[in-house]
A and B are shown apart, each in its own frame.
Chain A
Amino acid sequence: MIRVVLPSHLRALAHVRGDVELEIEGPATQRAVLDALEARYPMLRGTIRDHVTQERRAFLRFFACAEDLSHEPPDAPLPDAVASGAEPLLIIGAIAGG
């Protein structure tokens, strides 16, 4: 079980409160987590990564275990603590605009 923390606007869009818990088949990677997230909450398709290119939207970041994973390859394994559910994967809306 993997825990994902969404920014408040996306929680409202997906009609969820608190963390999202996802079961992932196979290795826990960014792509696998986002695939599972979008499968359960299709209204989030296009809001985290581009509909077509699947690239992360520019003002979103992926944090976990006090590390910025935003530039990790999408198929790289997530930290063990995220894969085990001990730590969440944080999807963060960048602080921008002053």
Chain B
Amino acid sequence: MSGVRVLVGTRKGAFVLTSDGKRERWDVSGPHFAGWEIYHVKGSPADPNRLFASQTSGWFGQIIQRSDDGGKTWTQPGTPPGEPTTGPGGMPKGESNKFQYDSSSETGKPLTTHQFYDGTQHPWEFKRVWHIEPSLTDPDTVYAGVEDAALFRSKDGGKSWQELSGLRGHGTGPKWQPGAGGMCLHTIVLDPGNPQRMFIAISAAGAFRTDDGGKTWRPINKGLNSPYIPDPTAEVGHCVHRIAMHRSRPGVLFMQKHWDVMRSDNAGDLWQEVSGNLPTDFGFVIDVHAHEPETVYVVPIKSDGEHFVPDGKLRVYRSRSGGNEWEALTKGLPQKDCYVNVLRDAMAVDSLDKCGIYFGTTGGQVYASADAGDNWAPIVRDLPAVLSVEVQTLP
């Protein structure tokens, strides 16, 4: 019987939640990496037992963890326990945690500065990995979106990482600037129909697309309107929070921007607002139903100043028309005295029939709906603040 595995990253460790296809009874394992911030955990579509986790700490920096047994055991891919600590030629292992910006002259024009809070130019400094995106076809290839904003790729299962410096060096980098959460590359969307195309998003720079496998990039922010920057329709500078795609229609993108829910029908060449009747168009998450490419989910957040749900009510909003007309989904969700946030990587969908929807809150709850959002129930209520939620549908 099919099942699901929900991968949860929190402020104080990772948790793996598993259930059968009914999604009624759950087994909870964790905390893995207790005490560390787990920004993201995601499994390889090509090998569901292979998981990658971003483990990070203000004290100790960045660690990449990998599991090859569905989250039961974990190792750092560069240094499996019991193996020699040096590789061929005596070179030390342990490079799996090393994210070094490309400064070579051979691989493009890597920039060394971006705009800082005070308006001066500031050198890029690696902080952490926000998002891990495994390849759709190769379990050894995985992408990492990092702060300060850049895109890295590993082709050896996470043992070593190389920057795709054409993004940072394409020309607009000096205009990128950090948002309140830092200058992070937080969204990576791979095109299932075109391995040369991928989309990324940066706060606060905007959305970008490559059509040549990551060598060259261009901003795709036309149609965005951000009154909080000097030129509201600038080429870059927009605070994009999240982009989602349905795999059957990779040219259609949905975006939750800092303010505004947006849609593009031409792979980001032009965006139009589809916020419609939402109670507020501020928010972080956005995702698409696994079987209905026009069914979209968001969780409106009251404002950028308060960062909690409006009116003390936790409501997921669903549009069955690709935006503009939205309905509140409330059954099983708290409708009184609730003041949580749902962060950008903390919503996911499974591919069972009916489609399951999952999200985690800063209050430590992970909610699931086994019927596309009509009814909700908490899987767990009292985890540390949830940073990310991913779901694997298992055979």
Contacts and interface: CB of A to CB of B under 8 A. Distances in A.
B81 interface: yes
A34 to B, nearest CB: 13
Contacts of B86: 39, 42
A87 interface: no
Interface stretch (A20-28, A46-54, A75-83): A46-54
A14 to B, nearest CB: 9
Contacts of B57: 9
B79 interface: yes
Contacts of A94: 59
B85 A42 contact: yes
A43 B58 CA distance: 17
B93 interface: yes
Contact of B60 (A10, A40, A52): A10
B94 A38 contact: yes
B98 A51 contact: yes
Contacts of B62: 46
A45 B94 contact: yes
Contacts of A45: 92, 94-95, 97-98
A40 B76 CA distance: 15
A13 B92 contact: no
Contacts of B97: 43, 45-47, 51
Nearest to B76: A43
Interface in B31-76: 35-36, 57-63, 76
A38 B92 contact: yes
Interface of B: 35-36, 57-63, 76, 78-79, 81, 85-86, 92-95, 97-100
Given A45-B95, A59-B58, 6 more contacts: A13-B63, A42-B93, A46-B94, A46-B97, A47-B61, A51-B98
